[in-house]
Structure 1
Amino acid sequence: MKIDKVINNNVVSAFDECGNEIILMGKGIGFQKHTNDVVCKEKIDKYLSMTDSNTEMLKKLMNEIPFELLQTSNAIVAYAAKELKQDLNEGIYISLADHLNFAIERSRRGIEFKNALLWEIKKFYHLEYEIGLKAIEMIEQKFHVKFPEDEAGTIALHFVNAEMNYDLEETVKTPVIIKEIINIVQYTYGCELETTSLNYERFVTHLKFFIQRIVNAQVYPIDDDSMIQMTKKNYPQANQCASKIALYVEKKLNYQVTDEEIMYLTVHIHRITRN
């Protein structure tokens, strides 16, 4: 593999065997190197695929972000993938490093940041929030910058985004929508839900992917209408509550919730409201 462009001493661009442009990172991988020099494979720590739409942006960011921060960011992503037990959207490597670079600069200037969604993030994305706390601990150890827990919340949203593959604007909306749906359930039943129960955790997880399906315009496939009718008959109050949620979603997101989605919401609502 040959170098196409030296971005800095630690980052170069090249083309893989299929002719796709990639970014290669590694300490000293670009030191005293030039176009068409052979890449030293032993120095490759990480490589990123590129598309026509993000090529120049990636090169610009790679040149602006200190290599030590890129390494730390990559370590955070690796830790997160292990904790979340899933592959993450490759864009997290760049978006997180770029965010951390800006956050460190902001902190060193004494600019405070308050995360208005911190409560919702801690409640609905607890594991991602814990990863955010680990991330700010790693940043403090490496760069001697102490972030508030608000920053852990923002980092958590980057991982939610990487898990669900939609943009950060939609990710930010998700905890607010989940909170409103939980409120609808509690108001309908006149009770506080047990937030530490397994059924509650399953319900919140279902809502996360419910919202993801809305964003991606996906629907549940189901062939037997009798399941829908049986759910309506067996769980009438839960079905009524699910219908209220469907109306809320229609107004909030301009999305017509299907009978199949209402059925699954009904089942989850029945489970979390049983005494």
Structure 2
Amino acid sequence: MKTILKVDYVVLKVFNNNIILANNNGKEKILFEKGIGFGKKVGEIIKKGTEIDKIFTIENQFNVQNFNEIVSKNDEKFLALCEEIIYDISNKLGEDLSENIHIGLTEHISFAIKRLNNNEEIQNPFLIEIQTLYPQEFELAKEAAIKIKNSTGVLMPDGEVGFIALHIHSARNNGKLSNTIKYSYIGNKITEYVEKELNIVIDKTSLDYARFLTHMRFAIERIMKKSLIKNDLLNIIKESYPKSYLVAEKVAKILENELEVKVVEDEVAYIAMHIQRFRVSVENN
């Protein structure tokens, strides 16, 4: 659905024939419309009443400053690529994204390309967790990686795709990313502990692992919000799976130390159920 500009805008930058950066009264907007940038020069006016396919607004002055710095350091073709990626992500999700993505994602892609051209690949310690917890964002990130490869010739490895997925996830959650990293860190720590206690190696691509990781994510959210949970099977789980319950109690201690919040017995029992699934799965393989 087209949007009609309600005021005049001054052209600040022409990324390509279809994307421009414009300003009105301190508010910067990235305007998408076929042919809108054709023949335009900096300082020209985009008239009120012009039909626009898509508008991204950058209002926070700190973001405006950072975005303008990024614009000054990168060429129009690269900026157009990044904005087309963001445009596609927003359209496919059917959501408005945090304005931070225009800074964070563009800057990340820029640095990633430079690193990879210098054979400096950074490992992503949260790759499995990102793929498991945010499959939609990861698929969109893979599509973005294809666009980057087609435009720049640089192939984004899975670790970089994972980082792009985190930027997308952050942009869907009002720019918040710290909890994502924290959850992944805690999930890794708990997984390593469970492997050590049960003397097993967990298949990070297995359905059991995906279930466990998802459960831990929601458990952490419940614990942080102090949302009480009732587990009617508490006593049965303690009696039927004593070893798994003992490990779950120690996992609960890890959560308490990391989150500084008490973990109730009912939650421990749920953790024990997922640990038991690991034991059964490993024993049957």
**What TM-score do you get using the length of structure 1 for normalisation?**
0.71
CA distance in 2, matches of 1:194, 1:106: 30
* 186-195 vs 134-143, greater mean Cα deviation: 186-195
Matches within 5 A, 1:226-237: 232=238, 235-237=241-243
CA distance in 1, matches of 2:245, 2:147: 46
Aligned to 1:115: 122
Aligned to 1:12: 22
- Consecutive unaligned residues in structure 2, runs of 5 or more: 1-5, 15-19
Match of 1:139 among 148, 170, 181: 148
Match of 1:95 among 92, 104, 129: 104
CA distance in 1, matches of 2:138, 2:174: 18
Shift in alpha-carbon separation, 1:5–1:151, aligned structure 2, 3 A: same
Q: How many pairs were matched up?
A: 262
Match of 2:250 among 244, 251, 269: 244
Question: Match of 1:72, as an amino acid?
Answer: L
Match of 2:65 among 37, 45, 56: 56
> 1:73 and 2:82 equivalent?
yes
Q: Is the 8 A contact 1:74 1:93 kept in 2?
A: yes
Question: Match of 2:82, as an amino acid?
Answer: S
Shift in alpha-carbon separation, 1:173–1:210, aligned structure 2, 3 A: same
**How far apart are 1:248 and its partner, in Å?**
2.0
**How far apart are 1:141 and its partner, in Å?**
0.7
> 1:265 and 2:271 equivalent?
yes
Identity of aligned residues (%): 23
CA distance in 2, matches of 1:76, 1:267: 41
**SS of 2:122's equivalent?**
coil
CA distance in 1, matches of 2:82, 2:95: 16
**What TM-score do you get using the length of structure 2 for normalisation?**
0.69
**How far apart are 1:23 and its partner, in Å?**
2.0
Q: Is the 8 A contact 1:129 1:152 kept in 2?
A: yes
> 1:124 and 2:129 equivalent?
yes
CA distance in 2, matches of 1:231, 1:269: 11
CA distance in 2, matches of 1:131, 1:180: 28
Q: Deviations over 1:51-106 (max 9, x none)?
A: 355343334435544444344334444665688x6857523343112211233344
**SS of 2:82's equivalent?**
helix
* 27-36 vs 180-189, greater mean Cα deviation: 27-36
Question: Match of 2:147, as an amino acid?
Answer: M
Q: Deviations over 1:184-219 (max 9, x none)?
A: 2223333333544433212112334445667xx433
**SS of 2:201's equivalent?**
coil
> 1:256 and 2:265 equivalent?
no
Question: Match of 1:256, as an amino acid?
Answer: V
**SS of 2:106's equivalent?**
helix
